[in-house]
Amino acid sequence: MAVAMAMFLAPAALATPRSLSREASFDWVRRHPAGVPGARVYASMAYDENHGELVLYGGNTPTGFDGGTWTRSHGGSWSRHHPSQSPGVAESAAMAWDPATGRILLFGGVFGNETDSDETWAWDGTAWAQLHPATVPPARNDAAMAFDRSSGRMILFGGSEVGGNTLGDTWAWDGSNWTELHPAGSPPARGGAGLAFDPVTGRLVLFGGFAPLQGQVYGDTWAWDGSNWTELHPATSPSPRYLASMAADGALGHVVLFGGEGGGGRTWAWDGSSWGTLTTTGPSARMGAAIAYDTGARALALFGGTGNLRAEFLGDTWTLAQTVGSARRP
């Protein structure tokens, strides 16, 4: 691992960070690819760096749960795959690209019978394989998970259980096993938080989430430095929200946050010390949309979600791309 860590410190997919005040604008563009997956919410999405394609898994549709696997390469059409086995979870799984193993990692989620999963799966570009680590985190859904490129480990935080209980534990995946970490400081237990690697500071940044049994919706920002969580206190911050779409945008060089329950339709960017809004038009307000940075297309991709107080299932595809204009702070 020590040999490989050097490549995680400066990943080619992440551009030099841009100042949010520079005369550079990033705007959402509606795409109309062929073969679009049906409208859905709570699907999981990650970018497969080895095969150059977005991978979308699962989701809740107007007709029920769908455990299908879809891919989209180079901004082209969506294609459905029919692997011999699949995770089986229907929605709300944590999923992220793992450059240490060259596969997409999936953990947890909700099965169609409304029970939580504690299973770990990996997608290698053609097939899903269930992994059987000696130690596993407790079953959960809506956990926050992202690869920490500074330490070379996948980090999992929190999540919810069917019934509303929330978790506040931190776990690391080393490619073969899960290890629970015991940081001195930690965010309060929550599900539905956003987590992404911040290319500016080289730390993971976490925002928002909720604890339904406590009636708490969070609007706090935390950073993970490889061993400990630290609460940050930016001068400007998005409103409290959960199930927002959050990912590192390699073209912009910042972490981007969109939507979420309680978040409206504004697009936010984290510059390493504060949040600011981007001057964008684009997707309608929504929660539970899938998001990932498409390295091949050099654009952040967003798919689906639900709007209008969860009464509307969405199946639109959007990308955040550079245009002429200006970025601004609120």
Q: Which helix (H) or strand (E) holds 202?
A: none
Question: pLDDT value at position 15?
Answer: 41
Q: What burial class does residue 245 get, using C-beta atoms within 10 Å of its C-beta: 0-12 exposed, 13-18 middle, 19+ buried?
A: buried
Nearest to 98 by CA among 75, 133, 71, 123: 123
Highest average pLDDT, of 11-25, 187-201, 308-322, comes from 187-201
pTM over 0.85: yes
Highest average pLDDT, of 129-143, 275-289, 303-317, comes from 129-143
Is residue 216 over pLDDT 70?
Answer: yes
What are the structural domains, with CATH classification, of the chain? Answer: 5-323 (2.120.10.80)
- Number of alpha carbons in the 13 Å side-chain half-sphere of residue 73: 9
Secondary structure class of 208 (helix, strand, coil)? strand
Question: pLDDT value at position 203?
Answer: 98
Q: What's at 237, amino acid-wise? A: S
Which DSSP string corresponds to 299-326?
EEEEEEEEETTTTEEEEEEEEEEEESS-
Q: How many helices (H) and strands (E) does the chain have?
A: 1, 28
Structure token digits, residue 102: 């060259």
**Contact criterion met (CB below 8 Å) for 230 and 220:** no
Question: pLDDT value at position 18?
Answer: 52
Q: What burial class does residue 235 get, using C-beta atoms within 10 Å of its C-beta: 0-12 exposed, 13-18 middle, 19+ buried?
A: exposed
Q: What's at 103, amino acid-wise? A: R
Secondary structure class of 78 (helix, strand, coil)? strand
Q: What burial class does residue 324 get, using C-beta atoms within 10 Å of its C-beta: 0-12 exposed, 13-18 middle, 19+ buried?
A: exposed
* Phi, then psi, of 6 in degrees rounded to 5: -60, -35
**Contact criterion met (CB below 8 Å) for 110 and 92:** yes
Q: What is the pLDDT of residues 38-56, one digit of tens each?
A: 999 999 999 999 999 999 9
Q: What is the pLDDT of residues 137-181, one digit of tens each?
A: 999 999 999 999 999 999 999 999 999 999 999 999 999 999 999
Strand partners of residue 258: 245, 267
Question: pLDDT value at position 245?
Answer: 98
Is residue 207 over pLDDT 80?
Answer: yes
